A and B are shown apart, each in its own frame.
Chain A
Amino acid sequence: MQSKTPSLIGAGLALALFLAVALLPSMLYGGYAGVLLAGGIFGTPLEPTFLVRALIVFGIVLGVAGVGSLFAVMGAAAGAGVGALTSLAARKPAAQEASPE
């Protein structure tokens, strides 16, 4: 946890994965949340008014931000975990080398 590098690499890779596989579904899920909220506020069936469109776009933005954040945070945690394991593995042989036979 001293070095930020493994977490940054993990977060970066996770965000790349997000862009590759989860961007479109997160837009749809967020947009659907917007549709449901707009339905409660403006009534159904939804008319394509400015406010309804704005709420759906807001939902899409939140959907993308939410799923993207989840990928970034989990990626950072995973990156730190891998970083900790590799530094542990690198320290062991060094310690073995230093110790007398």
Chain B
Amino acid sequence: MRAILLSFALLLASTARADEPKLPKGSDTCLQCHSPGGDGPAVPPDTFAKSIHAQNGVGCTDCHAGYTEEHAMGGTLPALSDAEQKFVSRLEKASWVEGEKKVKVASPRAYLACQNCHTEQTDAFAASVHSKWLREDAKVAGPTCASCHGSPHAVQAMAFYEPKAGARQPVPEDRRAMAKRCEACHGNEEFAKEAGLNPEAAVTYHDSIHGRLVRVGNAYAPVCVSCHAAPANRGGTHAIVSKIDPNSIVNVKNRKDACARCHAGATDSFASLIAHKTPQETTGHPVPHIIHIVFSYLTTLTLLFFAFHVLVDFIYELRQRVKAKAGHGPSVDAVRSVIRFDIHQRIQHWFMLSGVILLGITGWPLRGAGTFGNAPIIGGRDAAPYSEAFMKIFGGAEGAALWHRVGAVLIIISSVYHLFYLTFLAAQKRLPLSMLPGPKDALDMRDNILFMLGVKKERPRFDRYMYLEKFDYWAVFWGIVMMVGTGFIFWFPAFFAAWAPSWLITAALIIHGEEATLAILFLFVVHFYNVHLKPSIFPMNWAWLNGRISVEMMKHEHPLEYERMSDDHK
């Protein structure tokens, strides 16, 4: 037995040794001086040994051509041609940011060697917009191989990545890491302005639907190279050219092909929706602009008014509580109850409330995951990590998206049920018109606010539905049309973009977000306060579950209806 164990141990030990990264032949001589703490520029041996270069036997002098042991003592390097010298002189100016650190090219001559092994890639790069600064004089130095791939002493093999519609492929981790390298230049406002690039490119990407999905951890959402890389057979990422170049995949004539990498059937109209601009600016059409402004005012003014209403009501309720005499037990009317909502109404409301809560808690973490930029008060902060953590409850960003659709189906079921219910009541000639708003509601609202403020002595007498309940009801009608209508567009974006103008899709995007803000804040703050959280009701009004309210509450909240019911019973 011992012999068998010993054999296994020896076998495992030899395997472990075989897996240990080895330095290429001759590199150990260089590393005598170039290890950390040595005389020359340091290359960590372990990191280098694990690099794809070392693993393929690419030694120091394969790139640092002409270097011998004497170079430290003043030995000369082989002469370069004029073209090579020009290339090296330009490379010397290159610098980029890695993490927080600014990095410069330490050994520009070594970059001449890249083409020896990576001919296809360097040829594609040589014709790309990224190497323009190496071909001609430019205001700023552009990227080198290391700007995107990191140090040649640590570089790893890239994972296979070629997104195709219908064959969903997660974006590999190395491409996500590379996006940060893209941003080191394209997200640097100062550099971008100097280079004549769009300084907002990174911010608008992060605030776009793609950027938000990436920020909340969606593995399939696209990063920079997903859209901007040329087709693999034409050089891929190395062959990125300016978007005004007719060969560019993001040129206005070709960009639908970039979209079609993930969205089968993408059209020009669909492709025009993503343009590194805010949604209202994307299409250049005035309608999204107008909708953005109108909805911003509508949401703000509605929320301001109802926040004021809640505040006034809360102060009134507290005053009433202080005034109330202690020592009284619950009255008979507080115990007796009447049916206010029948089973159909309650089922409709159950579907609606579960759908809306589900939509809110799966949708807002995505909406709130944009960048805050330099905005006052919250600028520089980031809600995306919270969103990502919260979405894990639903199985991550993909799971949350699925649950969001489940929420949409629930509110659609509720709406359809309600329409059937109304039709049924109308056929039976029992359709109540008590929910229709009238001039009395406006007067009631004014008088109720004045009453709560202590200006009026008497509270207005409400019928079956008071103005707040009517607002809730009709706001849901409005909200369903807005949210479901626009939500369907995002459910099937390529389908709708195939026939609808792009400004309509953009307008839908704006409406969905703005209406979500209004609906969620109104429901969770105003509706929840009015029906559950006001001090006289807290912690809960159970009418949503059993359909009943106390007689006392009915007398107080709906005196006209109570009197009518009492008269009917006489």
Contact = CB atoms under 8 A, between A and B. Distances in A.
B192 interface: no
Interface string A1-44: 10010011011000000000000110111111101110111001
B488 interface: no
A57 B383 contact: no
Chain B interface size, under 10 / 10 to 19 / 20 to 34 / 35 or more = 35 or more
A62 B540 contact: no
Given A53-B377, A72-B539, A76-B532, A62 B521 contact: yes
B278 A44 contact: yes
A98 B350 CA distance: 38
A28 B378 contact: yes
Given A25-B383, A25-B390, A73-B533, A35 B540 contact: no
Contact of B529 (A4, A25, A28, A69): A69
Contacts, number: 127
B533 A69 contact: yes
B539 A70 contact: no
Contacts of B538: 11
Interface residues of A, number: 47
Contacts of A61: 307
Contacts of A39: 296
B304 A58 contact: yes
A74 to B, nearest CB: 8
Interface string A55-94: 1111011110111011011101101100000000000000
Contacts of B539: 4, 7-8, 10-11, 72-73, 76, 79
Interface stretch (B99-107, B236-244, B368-376): B368-376
B337 to A, nearest CB: 10
Q: Which of A29, A31, A41, A57 has the most CB of B within 10 A?
A: A29
Contacts of B386: 24-25, 28
Contact of A1 (B296, B383, B546): B546
B525 A62 contact: yes
A8 B537 CA distance: 12
A32 B525 contact: no
Contact of A41 (B297, B360, B529, B540): B297
A46 B375 contact: yes
B307 A58 contact: yes
Contacts of B303: 58, 62
Contacts of B520: 66
A31 to B, nearest CB: 4
A45 interface: yes
Nearest to A41: B296
Nearest to B513: A36
A10 B375 CA distance: 37
B524 A32 contact: no
A48 interface: yes
B27 interface: no
Contacts of B540: 7, 73, 76-77, 80
Nearest to A75: B539
A27 B364 CA distance: 13
B491 interface: no
Nearest to A5: B539
Contact of A29 (B304, B368, B528, B542): B368
B146 to A, nearest CB: 34
A65 B304 CA distance: 14
A3 to B, nearest CB: 11
Contact of B521 (A1, A28, A66, A74): A66
Contact of B377 (A11, A31, A44, A63): A31
B292 interface: yes
B300 A55 contact: yes
Contacts of B367: 29, 32
B376 A32 contact: no
Interface of B: 278, 292-293, 295-297, 299-300, 303-304, 307, 357, 360-361, 364-365, 367-368, 370, 372-378, 381-383, 386-387, 390, 513-514, 517, 520-521, 524-525, 528-529, 532-533, 538-540, 542, 545-546
Given A36-B296, A37-B300, A69-B533, 4 more contacts: A62-B303, A66-B525, A69-B528, A73-B533
16 contacts: A7-B539, A11-B538, A25-B383, A25-B386, A28-B383, A29-B368, A32-B368, A39-B296, A40-B292, A46-B374, A46-B376, A56-B375, A66-B524, A67-B524, A70-B524, A72-B532
